[in-house]
Copies of this chain bind each other. A is one copy, B any other.
Amino acid sequence: MTRHGKTLDKLKEAGYRLTPQRVMVLAALAGKPGHIGVDDIFRQVHASYPYIDVATVYRTLQLLKVLHLVTELDVGGSARYELIETEVHHHMVCRNCSRAFDFSPTYLEEFHHRLIQEFGFEPDLEHFAIGGLCSACARERR
């Protein structure tokens, strides 16, 4: 079973149709590690099926989001998506090279608890991503 096989099953179980377009969008999501932009998904699917429309990609992603099969991040402007796999994790996105790196939720535990305790504010950390400069780009810049 491919990396997105389970997601296809869940779509079907939820009563949605398994159209080739949806399968291709999921394949694109599964094909690259980390989060990926709508344009990137569109380009990939379009390469093998030129009739695909961006609207379909958006609608598919919307559906997958509602069903909690993908997570959506919006780091600076456009949205990016990622298949939900086993573990929750967060992202560091380099402002220079746009690469993304994962980090564990434990890094935010202290922060999370302090906001709750001191302000009663429950932060949304499910889709948390932080911009910055990655080590490679920081080195290069010197």
A interface residues, Cβ below 8 angstroms from B: 74, 76-77, 92, 94-95, 101, 103, 107-108, 110-111, 114-115, 119-124, 128, 130-135, 138
Contact = CB atoms under 8 A, between A and B. Distances in A.
B132 A115 contact: yes
Nearest to A131: B124
Contact of A119 (B92, B115, B120): B92
B138 A120 contact: yes
Q: A interface, by DSSP: helix, strand, loop or mixed?
A: mixed
A111 B101 CA distance: 15
Nearest to A106: B114
A122 B138 contact: yes
Nearest to A92: B121
Contacts of A119: 92, 101, 103, 134-135
Given A74-B76, A76-B74, A134 B120 contact: yes
B123 A92 contact: yes
Contacts of A132: 115, 121-124
